[in-house]
């Protein structure tokens, strides 16, 4: 199970509370580093996720067209764009504790091993939802609100392995499914991935098998065609196309092959 991810989410939200408590009225309307979203929108994204998990909105009488995960997130933020910061914070305070409890419950069987689809991202055991939130909320906090291109300057403790690694695991679990066809076409030879610092480790990305999915295994095999190295924190940024991988990665081996894979990679 991934109870460690629930602990990571709690740490991340302790930091989010630190940030929100220092925001000025002007800060809420500043553009974040998440394209199209203000600081308030980022918090509204977080609170809307919490609300929908704890108290889902009843489905409309007429079924909505299928949406990608990103479209669904935008659809939740859209009705909150006219909310005040106080409205967003009130929703957070109303649902946060119950949401933590729901994540804890998903670590218990039989729910933990129940596999469910997540929009266009693939199908996952429900216990891994905590990892998805650890990734998503870490990314929004540390990169979209506080990163080099972000609008806020709030001092937080350095991120720890406990905080970062569960989100990194989600990214690795998601890679085979989120871009099934694109990565199956791009990954023609084994590629090493070395992430340093908190959340780091080594993995080998291998070509797709009969199921059409690339595989990712622990450790770097001796026969990799190239190895890509960056910090785990930077992987959250370049792996989601928030920055160009060329600005923070080093490549050993066949650089052209590595580039052909990394240019395709776009984790959600």
Q: What token pair was written down for 131?
A: 């990892």
- Cβ atoms of residues 152 and 19 within 8 Å: yes
Give dist(CA 191, CA 255) in Å, integer. 11
Give dist(CA 117, CA 168) in Å, integer. 20
The distance between the two most distant Cα atoms of the chain, rounded to a whole number of Å, is 56
Specify the 3-state DSSP secondary structure of 265: coil
What is the pLDDT averaged over residues 147-174? 97
The domains of the chain, with CATH numbers, are 3-157 (1.20.120.450), 174-262 (3.30.1050.10)
- Tens of pLDDT, residue by residue over 75-106, are 999 999 999 999 999 999 999 999 999 999 99
Q: CA 114 → CA 128, 148, 189, 214, distances in Å?
A: 10, 39, 33, 23
Specify the 3-state DSSP secondary structure of 21: coil
Instruction: Fill in the DSSP letter of residue 151.
Output: S
pLDDT of residue 66: 85
Give dist(CA 30, CA 145) in Å, integer. 10
Residue 179 banded pLDDT, cuts 50, 70, 90: very high
Q: What is the mean pLDDT of the chain?
A: 96
Q: CA 194 → CA 139, 185, 255, distances in Å?
A: 19, 22, 15
- Cβ atoms of residues 156 and 15 within 8 Å: yes
| Unique residue bearing structure tokens 């000025």 | 24
What is the pLDDT averaged over residues 36-50? 98
**pTM metric for this prediction:** 0.96
- Cβ atoms of residues 203 and 187 within 8 Å: no
Q: What token pair was written down for 30?
A: 């500043």
DSSP string across 157-183: PPP-HHHHHHHHHHHHHHHHHHTHHHH
pLDDT of residue 266: 97
């Amino acid at each position: 199970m991934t109870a460690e991810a629930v602990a990571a989410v709690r740490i991340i939200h302790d930091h989010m509370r630190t940030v929100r408590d220092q925001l000025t009225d002007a800060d809420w309307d500043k553009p974040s580093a998440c394209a199209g979203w203000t600081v308030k929108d980022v918090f509204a994204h977080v609170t809307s996720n919490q609300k929908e998990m704890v108290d889902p909105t009843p489905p409309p009488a007429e079924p909505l067209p299928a949406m990608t995960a990103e479209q669904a997130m935008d659809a939740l933020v859209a009705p909150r764009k006219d909310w005040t910061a106080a409205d967003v914070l009130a929703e957070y305070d109303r649902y946060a504790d119950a949401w933590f409890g729901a994540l804890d419950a998903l670590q218990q069987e039989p729910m933990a091993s129940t596999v469910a689809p997540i929009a266009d991202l693939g199908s996952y055991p429900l216990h891994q939802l905590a990892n998805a939130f650890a990734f998503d909320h870490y990314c929004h906090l540390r990169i979209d609100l506080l990163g080099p291109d972000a609008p806020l300057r709030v001092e937080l403790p350095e991120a720890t392995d406990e905080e970062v690694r569960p989100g990194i695991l989600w990214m690795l679990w998601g890679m085979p499914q989120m871009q099934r066809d694109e990565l199956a076409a791009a990954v023609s030879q084994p590629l090493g991935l070395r992430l340093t610092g908190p959340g780091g480790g080594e993995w080998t990305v291998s070509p797709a098998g009969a199921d059409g999915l690339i595989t990712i295994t622990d450790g770097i095999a001796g026969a990799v065609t190239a190895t890509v190295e960056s910090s785990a924190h930077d992987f959250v940024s370049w792996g989601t196309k928030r920055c160009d991988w060329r600005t923070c990665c080093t490549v050993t081996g066949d650089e052209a092959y590595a580039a052909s894979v990394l240019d395709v990679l776009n984790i959600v």
